[in-house]
Structure 1
């Protein structure tokens, strides 16, 4: 399944609805919240910083047997090249006052998803994440 949307905050709900439509009914709420956080972080970064007018999102849920499956989501945009995974993780041992602003969203995305990959090819940024899901 693929979705093409304007790269703006107003499109975030459509992106979330699109991804939710790929998930099995009864998906665990904690897992759903983790996916929502990752989707928001990645899409809002595209909307705010890439300079792209549109973003393409592809989403696949593959059943793997034994009450398990894997969600794969790929975000693609023709904005300026930027690898959010290249930035050093924030030092979460510091207090909020001591830490630099920003960076927690990608950090949490990397922690919550089973894999997160970035590539720039053919004039496009592509960020892919995968999340294993235990089915109800």
Structure 2
């Protein structure tokens, strides 16, 4: 498993995507790649916007593709925050009726096969997995 250490800033999103894409097979279906990209963007942007706010900090991203499963681990030393503990939004309500926020992590949980969080040794650790046939 390789690791990317990067400043948690929106301007680094392209570098994060390139890193993740380098771990995927060349024949990854576009629909699967789009789901992975959405999840990666949601998680990285949340770290960039909230983990260290108003400061800027680092994110560590590890990725591997073994036995047709992509595993991506995000780590940061920002404020402790478990994004999967938040109640899923009620998607039966109109956009105007729903609370702001939470849709990105909801979609991440729907698109990935597993999403796990832990806070350990002063770090937020979020692990996502996606089986790719």
Interval containing the TM-score (normalised by the shorter chain)? over 0.9
Indicate yes or no: 2:88 matched with 1:89.
yes
| Partner SS for 1:79 | coil
Q: Output the TM-score relative to the length of structure 1.
A: 0.93
1:127 alignment counterpart: 126
Q: Which residue of 2 aligns with 1:8?
A: 9
Equivalent residue for 2:37? 36
For 2:64, the equivalent position in structure 1 comes to: 60
Which segments of structure 1 move beyond 6 Å, counting only runs of 4 or more? none
Q: Please give the alpha-carbon distance, in whole angstroms, between the structure 2 residues aligned to 1:23 and 1:83.
A: 27
Q: Secondary structure at the match of 1:128?
A: strand
CA distance in 2, matches of 1:41, 1:33: 12
Q: CA RMSD in A?
A: 0.7
Question: CA separation in 2, counterparts of 1:87 and 1:103?
Answer: 7
Question: Structure 2 stretches of 5 or more lacking a match?
Answer: none
Unmatched runs of 5 consecutive residues or more in structure 1: none
